[in-house]
Amino acid sequence: MPAQILNGNPIRDQIYAELGQEIGELAAMGVRPGLAAVLVGDDPASKIYVRSKIAACEQLGLGSVHLTPPANTSTAELLAIVRELNSRDDVDGILVQLPLPLQIETKKILEAVDPAKDVDGFHPMNIGKLIEERPSMVACTPLGVMEILRRNGIRVEGADAVVVGRSNIVGKPMALLLMHADATVTVCHSKTRSLRQFARGADIVIAAAGHPALITRDDIRPGATVIDVGTTRITDPLLAEKLFAKLPERLEKFRKNGTAVVGDVHPDVAEVAGAMTPVPGGVGPLTIAMLMSNTVKAARLRRGLRAPETTASRR
């Protein structure tokens, strides 16, 4: 029996509906949450990501500021931009789109963002608060994964979970959120000697290594839940034929476009998993939804306002 497909779009729409109510309540108090997005240079992929985030702000009625300093911007110049945004009362969240150009010291920039406006959840202070289970800004992609699990009724408490990948953006905060939800968590990475051994024993596998089709059907226990966080654009026809051998429509689309976005999980995993997210259309929509949610949350926390009793706000 094929896996249940955990589509992220309906969950995103649920969260947007809940946020819409909260945003309306804030508007009645004269508060309009605002997000500032800083895109250095003209990387095509980053442009698409930032454009989608600004579009989400417009859809929900949030304020937005879009800054586009040139690719040759220095660390000092970007620090000045961040500090100016820190001081603006109409800006509740600050997003510095990564990756930054090589001449910029990324850690200095992320640490310069006011932790109260750090809607990406990358600031060391917010990471420390996450470790201690204190209210904070949490990285959007792991938050989105937790929403997928919760809203699809997938039991986390007591589950054996494997996180493949140990990045500060996804892997590490993902492991912490799962532990806080009472899962038993194993973190695997490029130096793990027997990834298959760990993955095969898991009830939940979160793939976030950035390696196309790293997780195969032989790595998954029948009936397990598989969440694919990876997104890689492929252009190799031989790889496409390998990945889409049983998906003629996707293969034909690849041949027409010459490119496709794939995840860290081989499509054949759907034949053994109990449930899995697609790529695209799985975790991606939730990442943006949780960025919007974090922006609204930051607006409330900065003003000392309590959250309403909606599911999107109980974090």
Report, as residue numbers or ranges, the catalytic residues. 53, 97, 120
Alpha carbon distances (Å) from 179 to 68, 133, 156, 185, 187:
38, 10, 9, 6, 11
Q: Tokens standing for 132?
A: 């201690």
Amino acid in the structure at residue 84: E
Closest Cα partner for 118 from 142, 140, 143, 90? 140
Task: Judge contact between 20 and 60, C-beta under 8 A.
Answer: yes
Radius of gyration of the chain from its Cα atoms, rounded to whole angstroms: 20
Closest Cα partner for 85 from 53, 56, 52, 63? 63
CA 8 to chain centre: 12
CB atoms within 10 A of CB 135: 12
- Cα gap 303→311, rounded to integer Å: 21
Strand, coil or helix: 1? coil
Closest Cα partner for 265 from 314, 222, 231? 231
- Cα gap 17→147, rounded to integer Å: 14
Closest Cα partner for 212 from 174, 164, 167, 176? 164
